[in-house]
Amino acid sequence: MKTLAKLPVTIVTGFLGSGKTTLLRHMLDNAQGRRIAVIVNEFGELGIDGEILKQCSIGCTEEEANGRVYELANGCLCCTVQEEFFPVMRELVSRRGDLDHILIETSGLALPKPLVQAFQWPEIRSACTVDAVITVVDSPAVAAGTFAAFPDQVDAQRKLDPNLDHESPLHELFADQLASADLVILNKADLISPEDLARVRLEVAEELPPAVKIIEASSGRVPLDVLIGLGAGSEEHIDGRHSHHDHHHEGEDDHDHDAFDSISIDLPQADEALLLDALNQLVVQHGILRVKGFAAIPNKPMRLLIQGVGTRFDKHFDRAWGADEARITRLVLIGQELDAAGLEAQLRAALSV
């Protein structure tokens, strides 16, 4: 009987809007014949990232493309890992003779350490190894302090007393994603000055073990050979990586992620400029961390993909609407203590719908 080598797994983590999905698309587009399975973990109700990745079919049929992306339900992997992650991995392990690599994209609010620790389970450990944990950093956001709930206030406090950084649960989350990394990518490096980029590099390096390399990238464009084949065996040493959340699960049933809300809003077709202006106002007024979704624009045959981090929004038309597809606008807003009904009412009033 043929003995199969352990299947390498790359875990891609990173804060909200850092560019994880863009990086995975780049990896899939440059797979060079590698047979890659993808697990997408969404925080939200839309499954937007999974749908984006399914468009990267690399010449596969629709059925093959759908079979290559395993999309877990909403929630962070550290919460759903036992309920959903294990069955998905068990199925992939049973097919490991047909696969060369597994990519896992965690949600922007996920803690990577418990996920890596799951690879210590005997049934997974015997068949898989974590080739590397790659943490993607949104360089402009870190430079601006927008990983924090109230970036202006926290950044002002940070300048007065750096010790106050860790009072922000978002900064702790950011630090924990870095603490588990085997490789860090300073993404969107082309969008900030060399001086700001150097400052981000120093800030990130303070959170990292000395052996972890930091590289810079634009739009997630990194050679595939740099990203896979690292052979880190992360599950072997993850227990020794310090995490701010290590103590939270000892004798406690509460989960810090309860502080984050993810709400879904459906709207009719909307004027593009009005919609973006209304979303910007919501971000400013309610401290919304992340906006993502699709919009139906009147008289446009294609769907508008919207992704926002703080007040910075990226948008492009991603594909044509299907003949039988309802042309609606569907958005996910992620933040803390969000009033779903109030936010929807404000959006509808701004759009007069």
Do residues 73 and 46 make contact, with C-beta atoms less than 8 angstroms apart?
no
Looking at the structure, do residues 159 and 299 belong to the same domain, yes or no? Answer: no
Is there a single domain that holds both residue 277 and residue 147? Answer: no
Same-domain check for residues 146 and 190: yes
pLDDT exceeds cutoff 50 at 155: no
Residue 252 lies in a domain: no
Dihedral sign, CA of 236, 176, 178, 31? positive
Asked if residue 236 and residue 142 are part of one domain, the reply reads yes
User: Based on the domain organization, do 101 and 198 belong to the same domain?
Assistant: yes
Domain assignment of residue 160, yes or no: yes
**Does residue 268 share a domain with residue 235?**
no
What percentage of the chain carries pLDDT values higher than 90? 28
Q: Which two tokens stand for residue 39?
A: 């697990």
Contact 113, 235 (CB under 8 A): no
What DSSP element (H or E) covers 276? helix 272-286
Place 215 in a pLDDT band, splitting at 50, 70 and 90: very high
Indicate if 17 and 94 belong to the same structural domain. yes
Asked if 212 and 234 touch (Cβ cutoff 8 Å), the reply is no
Q: What is the dihedral of CA 40, 41, 47, 49, to 10 degrees?
A: -50
Residue 245 lies in a domain: no
DSSP 95: T
**Sign of the torsion angle spanned by Cα atoms 145, 146, 152, 158:** negative
Whether the pLDDT of residue 343 is over 90: the answer is yes
Q: Please name the residues in contact with 27: beta carbons below 8 A apart, sequence gap of 6 or more.
A: 36, 103, 224, 227, 228
- How many Å apart are CA 229 and CA 9, to the nearest integer? 10
Tell me the pLDDT tens digit for each residue of 290-335: 788 899 999 999 999 887 877 778 888 988 998 888 999 999 887 7
Give tens-digit pLDDT for 139-148: 988 888 765 3
Check which CATH number belongs to the domain holding 339 and give it: 3.30.1220.10
Q: How confident is the model at residue 182 (pLDDT cuts 50, 70, 90)?
A: very high
Helices 340-351 & 272-286 angle (0-180, nearest 10): 140
167 plus 133 within the same structural domain: yes
Q: Would residue 274 count as lying in a domain?
A: yes
Q: Are both 98 and 13 inside the same structural domain? A: yes
Residue 238 has pLDDT above 90, yes or no: no
Burial class (CB in 10 A: 0-12, 13-18, 19+), 123: exposed
The reported pLDDT for the residue numbered 110 is: 66
Range of the domain at 267: 260-351
Pair type for strands 69-72 and 36-41: parallel
| Stretch 332-353: mean pLDDT | 87
Residues 44 and 163 in one domain: yes
* Domain harbouring 80, CATH code: 3.40.50.300
313 neighbors 279 (Cβ within 8 angstroms): yes
Q: 234 with 266, same domain?
A: no
Look at residue 75 and tell me if it is in a domain. Answer: yes
Total domains in the chain come to 2
> How many CB atoms sit inside 10 A of residue 248's CB?
14
Higher pLDDT, 110 or 271: 271
- For residue 198, the surrounding DSSP H or E stretch is helix 194-205
Task: Check residue 35 and give its pLDDT.
Answer: 86
**Domain-embedded: residue 11:** yes
Q: Which two structure tokens, joined as six digits, stand for 72?
A: 């877990």
Question: Per-residue pLDDT for 268 more than 80?
Answer: yes
| pLDDT at 162 (0 to 100) | 42
Position 264 in a domain: yes
Q: Which of 48-52, 170-174, 345-349 has the highest mean pLDDT?
A: 345-349
Residue 251 located in a structural domain: no
Contact between 126 and 5 under an 8 Å Cβ cutoff? The reply is no
At 94 the pLDDT is 86
How far lies 19's CA from each of 25, 108, 318, in Å?
A: 10, 10, 16
Q: Kindly state the average pLDDT of the residues 228-235.
A: 90
Burial class from Cβ neighbours inside 10 Å (0-12, 13-18, 19+) for residue 312 reads middle
**Whether residues 219 and 305 fall in one domain:** no
